[in-house]
Amino acid sequence: MNLDLKEKDINTYNSVFEEKYQERTGKSQLATDNFYTLITKFYEKGWGDSFHFARRLKNETFEDSLLRHEMYLAEKLELKPDHKVLDVGCGVMGPARQIAAATGAHITGLTINQYQVDRSRELNETSEISHLLSVQQGDYMKMPFSENSFDRMFAIEALCHAPDLGGVYDQIYSRLKPGGIACFYQWCLNDNYDPDNPEHVKIKEEIEYGNSITRLKTIREIDAYLEKSPFTVIETVDLVEQQGENSVPWYGTLQAGWSLKQFRQTKASRTFMKYFLRTFEALGIFPKGITKTQQVLLVAADALVKAGKLKIFTPMYFIKVRKDI
């Protein structure tokens, strides 16, 4: 297992989340950069190159559900082959490669994390559509592009990391061409979340810690940001609410079960992995900090499953907006 994480990165990450919300807001981008340095390889090994959830039909494979979720986004973006597109918070550009291949649009990925930039370039270069792909390191709170640069923009479960959602919306609006469309899948708490319920609050805080989120927003807060923004809002919908009763829950892959991905979540598998990592870390075979990093991922998985079962959270609040001016 070739993992380049460093103990100082996980210690820095943990120290940020030991602080109160007000104090850690200014360090959120540092924490997110450290987070993706720590966990990107874990994500790739367990999830593939598309780091997102999706609605999944009962007889549908996990991989097919991810692709269908990406094609739904591509359709909503109304993409054409001559469009210049920005993937805001692109990860290793798994969705961007699928969307570019399907539409012929040119997609630039933007990520704050240098490891993800290097990994995206590596994967893009081996793709048959490498001429349609590029990637740049940068903070989406200060986008390194001129105004009116892109015909389309999208963000897949990435804007939750923003310390100021209004600020990142302003950045997106500024870089979008007049008449341009942007679509987002956003993580947020829904109307079932009760801020006076200690269990709800604890789960919320665990999702934040396990996923490098300064503070999870509610759907109402997000709608309020959009209402104040200069965007014309075309559509907003919680896609979780559109899942049929016989569908696989969006958090199903994170639950213990008998599939390969689900077996990793069983108590036996987790216990084995904990001692395996701890032993090899002590022997110097794995880098120091790997056991702490695994614990962050386990907190994230457990909290998301709890939130899903209680129906207080969605990872796919879909938003479609347009810049008219």
Domain containing residue 254: CATH number: 3.40.50.150
Report helix, strand or coil for 254: helix
Give 219: exposed, middle or buried? Use CB within 10 Å, 0-12, 13-18, 19+: middle
Give 278: exposed, middle or buried? Use CB within 10 Å, 0-12, 13-18, 19+: middle
> Residue 105: which domain range?
1-325
User: Between 83 and 13, whose confidence is greater?
Assistant: 83
The answer for residues whose C-beta is within 8 angstroms of residue 99's C-beta and 6 or more apart is 70, 71, 73, 74, 79, 85, 105, 107
Residues 200-259: tens digit of each pLDDT? 999 999 999 999 998 999 999 999 999 999 999 999 999 999 887 778 999 988 875 545
Q: How far is CA 24 from CA 15, 87, 124, 161, 225, in A?
A: 9, 26, 34, 12, 21
Domain count, the chain: 1
Residues 268-310: tens digit of each pLDDT? 555 555 655 666 566 676 666 677 777 888 899 999 999 999 9
Q: How confident is the model at residue 2 (pLDDT cuts 50, 70, 90)?
A: very low
Q: What is the pLDDT of residue 265?
A: 52
Residues 80-138: tens digit of each pLDDT? 999 999 999 999 999 999 999 999 999 999 999 999 999 999 999 999 999 999 999 99
The mean per-residue pLDDT over the stretch 157-180 comes to 96
The mean per-residue pLDDT over the stretch 163-169 comes to 94
Give 32: exposed, middle or buried? Use CB within 10 Å, 0-12, 13-18, 19+: buried
- From CA 127, how far away is CA 3, in angstroms rounded? 24
DSSP 271: H
**Residue 5 pLDDT exceeds 70:** no
Residues 144, 170 contacting (CB under 8 angstroms): no
Q: Which two tokens stand for residue 296?
A: 């962050």
pTM: 0.90
Q: What is the pLDDT of residue 14?
A: 83
User: Between 293 and 320, whose confidence is greater?
Assistant: 320
